[in-house]
């Protein structure tokens, strides 16, 4: 990586992709290139995230954020389908990860993404034991 450059983040790009056109003239996204970037960077397994190393925390967070962005704009349904299949098939891998590898704030951010996904009628599991553990961590952190 050259000085002054950072690698792109699927999670951050997905959030920017949700911004509506500030002029409100076309009702579309303010940054359509973000949606194109998301479409172009889906990994072969249907996920988004770091391609050189698998971390369930990284991949699930990035993938759900990207699926939300694409679903919000109702585009690339095939990519959304592959992404949500990845989420559903890999959710329980969160329980296999070491806690020290957890993305900072994961226990706060991931449940919020799940809630947003449900509002967009994206079907993600909510009753898995690993999710119950994450929600318990969220409750503990918010109770402080």
Q: Which fold has domain 10-143?
A: Glycosyltransferase (1.50.10)
Token pair belonging to 121: 């009628």
Q: What is the reported pLDDT for 103?
A: 81
| Neighbour-count burial for 86-100, b at 16+ CB within 10 Å, e otherwise | bbeebbeebeebeee
Residue whose pair of structure tokens reads 């391609």 in the numeric block: 51
- The alpha carbon of residue 35 and the mean position of all alpha carbons in its chain are separated, in whole angstroms, by 13
Reported as type and span, the H/E element at residue 112 is helix 106-119
End-to-end C-alpha distance for the chain, whole angstroms: 39
Digit-by-digit pLDDT tens for the chain (144 residues) are 456 555 679 999 999 999 999 887 778 999 999 999 999 999 999 999 999 989 999 999 999 999 999 999 999 999 999 999 999 999 999 988 888 788 888 888 999 999 999 999 999 988 888 888 888 888 888 887
Q: 29 pairs with which residues across the strands?
A: 20
Q: What is the reported pLDDT for 39?
A: 98
- Residue 85: C-alpha distances to residues 20, 38, 88, 139 (Å): 27, 17, 5, 27
76: left (phi over 0), alpha (psi -120 to 50) or beta: left
């Amino acid at each position: 990586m050259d000085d002054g450059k950072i690698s792109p983040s699927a999670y951050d790009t997905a959030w920017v992709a949700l911004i509506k056109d500030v002029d409100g003239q076309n009702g579309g996204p303010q940054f359509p290139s973000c949606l194109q970037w998301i479409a172009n960077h889906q990994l072969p397994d249907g996920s988004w995230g770091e391609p050189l190393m698998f971390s369930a925390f990284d991949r699930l967070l990035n993938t759900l954020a990207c699926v939300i962005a694409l679903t919000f704009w109702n585009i690339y349904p095939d990519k959304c389908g592959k992404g949500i299949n990845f989420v559903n098939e890999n959710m329980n891998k969160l329980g296999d990860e070491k806690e020290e590898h957890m993305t900072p704030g994961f226990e706060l951010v991931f449940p919020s993404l799940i809630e947003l996904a449900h509002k967009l009628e994206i079907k993600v599991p909510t009753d898995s034991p690993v999710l119950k553990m994450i929600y318990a961590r969220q409750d503990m952190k918010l109770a402080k």
